[in-house]
Structure 1
Amino acid sequence: MAAGSAVVRALEALDVGGAADKINLIPQDFFAELCEQIIQYLNQKIPGVNVAELCQRIQTSGSEINVGDLAKVANIVSFLFSTAARNNLSTEELVTTLGNTVSALPKHAVQVIRHVWNEQGKSVSVSEDARNMSTVGQFVDMKWKLGVAMSSDTCRSLKYPYVTVTLKVADPSGQITDKSFEMTIPQFKNFFRQFKEMAAVLETV
């Protein structure tokens, strides 16, 4: 079976044609940045692609693409690059495969993909496919802040402290998302105690 045919079938399964209109909403410089970040992620140079942050910047520039559509585009481009790497496709083979699969793909997107793959395609590790298939996300960063609840519908004066924790996590597809939750002070102390226990165990490794 030809490598190009395998890529075509894989892209068709992802409904790349349906994403062409969404790609058309992304300005060329932002699409190039997305592709660059995906290559860096596949090469394990960054933990993931911050789709939410990139989407906000794209919207500020005047485009109306939403986070869900940008995430779909990111997944398709990531799958495209990883499949092309696994099948050792040259730049021309990749562009030809795209032309056979997505007739409505914007010209600027094809130019960006051609340029990025020509410049960095050979550096993409073939073994990263196993990494993409992982079901576990990767921790990127954590932030916390202390707050005080002043009142509620049932109580006019609460004044109890709480801690808000925000975890930045790269999911298995490489997209970075924020997960936030609140804890009471006793819960936070227990949380902290467990971290100290983990640190103590790690010191023995």
Structure 2
Amino acid sequence: MAAGSAAVRALAALDVGGTADKISLIPQDFFAELCEQIIQHLNHEIPGINTAELCQRIQTSGIEINAGDLAKIANIFSFLFSTAARNNLSTEELVITLGNAVSTLPKHALQVIRHVWNEQGKSISVSEDARNTASVGQFVDMKWKLGVAMSSDTCRSLRFPYVAVTLRVADPSGQITDKSFEMSIPQFKNFFRQFKEMAAVLETV
């Protein structure tokens, strides 16, 4: 089965660095939420997979797992689900492929994958156009606040006003990350002016 072979190769990475062991730590409800977010991202229903927020909730429940491990798991299953969708794998074919590739995958994870794929697997769209447009990141949200600098590499004096900006972006793999930076008031005014110019151009389109 060519499709199964492709999925087996994709899953070979699960045993690298004890990733399968990390999966066994994730409670069933959290793993189900992760898989559902992956399906939604592949269907372009959400801009990305918020592994940082999910990781924080898992840690709050008392489970020791870091965001890097959860992001790696998300990448592996995102690739697995997209490969399975491209090759029209049935639920049984997917579960068999998983069993052949990763013998240490916990039973509760297989149950979640079976359920999620049976319910939502056929809905995944993996057109060539969608794969091509996924080669760049996507803007999700922006937050800003006005503050007063107590120490700064760019401000010459203390108590200098600045604007702190946090951009939330989804990278091509679907991982959502926050990018933060600070600007002086003149820098922010220039930033704002460029946004106004962009808006003016868009109104002519």
Work out whether the TM-score is over 0.5: yes
Q: Is the 8 A contact 1:47 1:140 kept in 2?
A: yes
Name the residue aligned to 2:139.
139
Name the residue aligned to 2:107.
107
Q: Is 1:23 the equivalent of 2:58?
A: no
Following superposition, the deviation at residue 11 of structure 1 comes to 2.2
Distance in 1 (CA, whole Å) between partners of 2:150 and 2:108 is 53
The secondary structure found in structure 2 opposite 1:147 is strand
Following superposition, the deviation at residue 132 of structure 1 comes to 7.4
Worse overlay, 129-138 or 194-203: 129-138
Name the residue aligned to 2:62.
62
Aligned residues: 202
Amino acid of the structure 2 residue aligned with 1:167: L
Q: Is the 8 A contact 1:151 1:158 kept in 2?
A: yes
Name the residue aligned to 1:83.
83
Measured on the aligned residues, the alpha-carbon RMSD in Å equals: 2.0
Distance in 1 (CA, whole Å) between partners of 2:197 and 2:156 is 39
| Structure 1 unaligned spans of 5+ | none
Distance in 2 (CA, whole Å) between partners of 1:67 and 1:132 is 27
Name the residue aligned to 1:165.
165
Q: Is 1:4 the equivalent of 2:8?
A: no
Change beyond 3 A, Cα 1:29–1:132: farther
Following superposition, the deviation at residue 7 of structure 1 comes to 1.5
The secondary structure found in structure 2 opposite 1:143 is strand
Q: Kindly, what percent of the aligned residue pairs are identical?
A: 85
Following superposition, the deviation at residue 130 of structure 1 comes to 4.8
Name the residue aligned to 1:177.
177
- Superposition TM-score, scaled by structure 1 size: 0.93
Change beyond 3 A, Cα 1:96–1:65: same
